[in-house]
């Protein structure tokens, strides 16, 4: 602590990201990164010529990437906002759309742990909405409409991995037409039972969808996230961005993102491989007595029934496999396990067989 800090800094409770260990030979299943490299075309695109161009500022509006994303999602360029990872997009969203409204922001009690951090940073009252006993979001409980500053949730939810269907999101948008609803779709590309809310954007002026290239496009190290909405909502985000940092995306990140989006075939193969590994891992965990939540994401939430989750977490670590354990209400009995390559998942299952005997 320093006497030079602003007074609010003392009260902040910063987000703690999953560990990025320096040790080499670990199996890293703790931060939902993609086990496969980005499209090989990304490597070709980021050549010496691009490095030379780093002397110039990038396009402040990432226009080329915006056009790629607009084409991909069937929207106009002015319906796309781009940021330095979706965490950056989320922070600007909290500032532009939720703050200084003096009304609570609704989000699930078990959800992305950055939401309460942003709420604190921007002085927004959080109102945590309990998931039901099956860890599902109960949309009909979100009924404050103009009495709240907004609603935000991931779909599929994290860390539960459970998704909700588009008709539920549409019902939520209708019941809350006077407030903004943000759907954080970090994992939507891995879903096979629920779909993106993008197709509702032109019907609902109160909908903002946020996506990232960190998970399904293997570009976590490059920091690219984006938001999709009607042009007026997007303009609010642009105003805040241009009052804060005009160049959130560097040249290499923009080019990597465009290239990754254009390689549709590589993307689809990668997503399919992870869905197949997820299904295999789920079955194997169930055979070992785990209760596994029905996952729509690139990770599973699994509860060991013969030993406490924290003990299993520690034993896995000793075997150089890191997963995520949350010492928190309701999910303290679970492990969150990122889906890796088939070889990594086989190593996980055989380590668990040793641990649980």
Ligand X SMILES: *Cc1c(COP(=O)(O)O)cnc(C)c1O
Which residues bind to ligand X, rule: CB under 6 A?
Answer: 32, 85-87, 112, 154, 158, 184, 186, 212, 214, 220, 225
Query: Smallest gap, in angstroms, from Cβ of residue 204 to ligand X?
Result: 21
- Closer to ligand X at the Cβ: 89 or 309? 89
Beta bridge partners of 183: 153, 209
Q: How far is the CB of 292 from ligand X (least distance, A)?
A: 18
Closest contact distance (angstroms) between CB of 158 and ligand X is: 4
Cβ–Cβ < 8 Å for 83, 225: yes
User: Using an 8 Å Cβ cutoff, are 324 and 30 in contact?
Assistant: yes
The string of DSSP letters for 101-130 reads: S-SPEEEESSS-THHHHHHHHTT--EEEE-
Judge whether 261 and 69 are in contact, CB under 8 Å. Answer: yes
Least distance from ligand X to the Cβ atom of residue 294, Å? 17
Bridge partners of 210, per DSSP, are: 184, 227
CA 278 to mean position of chain CA atoms = 18
Q: Compute the least distance from the CB of residue 220 to ligand X, in Å.
A: 5
DSSP H helices, 190-341, are 231-241, 251-262, 264-287, 309-318
Q: Is the peptide bond before 331 cis (omega within 30 degrees of 0)?
A: no
Least gap, CB of 351 to ligand X (angstroms): 25
For 343, list phi and psi in degrees, rounded to 5: -65, -45
In angstroms, give the least distance from the CB of 7 to ligand X: 28
List Cβ neighbours of 144 (8 Å cut-off, separation of 6 or more). 103, 104, 106, 176, 179
Order of strands across the sheet that contains 324-325? 291-292, 299-303, 335-338, 324-325
Nearer to ligand X, 15 or 280 (CB): 15
In whole angstroms, how close is the CB of 69 to ligand X at the nearest point?
A: 14
Nearer to ligand X, 184 or 344 (CB): 184
Task: Tell me how far apart the alpha carbons of residues 36 and 216 are, in angstroms, rounded to a whole number.
Answer: 10
| CA atoms of 172 and 341, how far apart (whole Å) | 36
Q: Toward ligand X, which CB reaches closer, 182 or 345?
A: 182
Nearer to ligand X, 91 or 352 (CB): 91
Which residue lies nearer to ligand X by CB, 173 or 186? Answer: 186
Q: Which is nearer to ligand X, 39 or 214 (CB)?
A: 214
Between residues 124 and 355, which has the closer beta carbon with respect to ligand X?
Answer: 124
d(CA 263, CA 241): 29
Question: SS3 for 299?
Answer: strand
């Amino acid at each position: 602590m320093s006497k030079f800090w602003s007074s609010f800094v003392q009260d902040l409770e910063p987000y703690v990201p999953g560990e990025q260990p320096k040790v080499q030979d670990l199996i890293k299943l703790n931060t939902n990164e993609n086990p496969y490299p980005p499209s090989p075309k990304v490597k070709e695109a980021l050549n010496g010529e691009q490095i030379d161009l780093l002397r110039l500022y990038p396009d402040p509006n990432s226009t080329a990437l915006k056009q790629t994303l607009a084409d991909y999602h069937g929207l106009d360029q002015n319906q796309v906002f781009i940021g330095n990872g979706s965490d950056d997009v989320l922070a600007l969203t909290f500032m532009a759309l939720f703050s200084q409204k003096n009304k609570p922001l609704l989000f699930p009690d078990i959800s992305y742990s950055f939401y309460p951090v942003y709420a604190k940073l921007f002085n927004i009252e959080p109102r945590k909405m309990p998931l039901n006993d099956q860890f599902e979001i109960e949309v009909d409980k979100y009924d404050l409409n103009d009495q709240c500053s907004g609603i935000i949730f991931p779909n599929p939810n994290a860390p539960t991995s459970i998704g909700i269907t588009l008709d539920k999101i549409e019902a939520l948008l209708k019941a809350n037409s006077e407030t903004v609803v943000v759907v954080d779709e970090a994992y939507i590309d891995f879903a096979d039972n629920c779909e993106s809310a993008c197709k509702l954007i032109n019907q609902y002026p109160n909908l903002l969808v946020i996506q990232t290239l960190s998970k399904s496009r293997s570009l976590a190290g490059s920091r690219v996230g984006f938001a999709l909405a009607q042009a007026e909502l997007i303009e609010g985000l642009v105003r805040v961005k241009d009052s804060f940092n005009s160049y959130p995306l560097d040249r290499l990140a923009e080019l990597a993102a465009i290239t990754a989006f254009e390689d549709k075939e590589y993307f689809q193969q990668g997503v399919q491989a992870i869905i197949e590994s997820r299904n295999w891992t789920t079955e194997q965990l169930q055979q070992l007595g785990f209760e596994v939540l029905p996952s729509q994401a690139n990770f599973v939430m699994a509860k060991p029934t013969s030993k406490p989750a924290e003990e299993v977490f520690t034993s896995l670590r000793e075997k150089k496999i890191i997963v995520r354990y949350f010492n928190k209400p309701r999910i303290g009995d679970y492990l969150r396990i990122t889906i890796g390559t088939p070889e990594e998942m086989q190593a996980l299952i055989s380590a668990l067989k040793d641990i649980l005997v």
